[in-house]
Amino acid sequence: MDNDNFKKVRSRLGKTQKELAQLLGISIKAIHSYEQGWRRIPHHVERQLLFLVSRVINCDKPHEKCWDIQDCPDNKLAKCPAWEFKAGDLCWFINGTKCSGEAHTSWEAKMEECRKCNVFINFFKNEQGILPDG
C-alpha cells in the first residue's frame, strides 16, 4: 500500500488523522509520515486498514466464499484457516491460507497473490483508487 492508497482509505473510513492514529494504536506523526510518503506503511498497519475498510464497504451484502470461487477440493478445505473460521470473504486477511498450495512466508508475499485473486478483486471492486492495481 502506498501513501495515496493510505490517504484514500482514511478518507473512505471518514477518519481524521488523529482519529485514525487512535484507531490503529499508532502516533499521529506516523500517520503524517505514511501520508507524506516519508515512511513505508508497515504490513500490520496495511492489514488493519484493509480489515477496517472491508467492514465499511458492502457490509450488508453477502459475499461469495473463496472456496466456491476457487472450487477448492475437500482435502484443501480441511487444511484451510479461512474454511475453519468460515471466513471465505476474508481469506485475504487470514494468514496461513494455502490458495497456491503452500502458506505464504510473509504478508507481502500473501498480498502479492491476493491482489491478483478474484476473491480479493471482487470484494474491493467498487472501491476505486483505494487499492493498488497489482
Q: Which CATH number does the domain housing residue 50 bear?
A: 1.10.260.40
- Residue 24, domain extent: 1-56
Confidence bin at 3 (pLDDT 50/70/90): very high
Q: What pTM value is reported for the model?
A: 0.74
Residues 2 and 66 in one domain: no
Residues 49 and 92 in one domain: no
Residues 67 and 40 in one domain: no
Q: For a pLDDT cut of 70, what percent of the chain falls above it? A: 92
Residues 77 and 128 in one domain: yes
Backbone angles phi, psi at 126, to 5 degrees: -90, 5
What's the structural domain count of the chain? 2
95-104 pLDDT per residue, tens: 888 787 778 8
**End residue of a domain, out of 56, 77, 97:** 56
Residues 86 and 127 in one domain: yes
42-90 pLDDT per residue, tens: 999 998 998 888 888 766 667 788 889 888 888 888 888 888 888 888 8
* Cβ-Cβ contacts under 8 Å for 40 (sequence gap 6 or more): none
Confidence bin at 132 (pLDDT 50/70/90): low
Residue pair 43/54 in contact (Cβ under 8 Å)? The answer is no
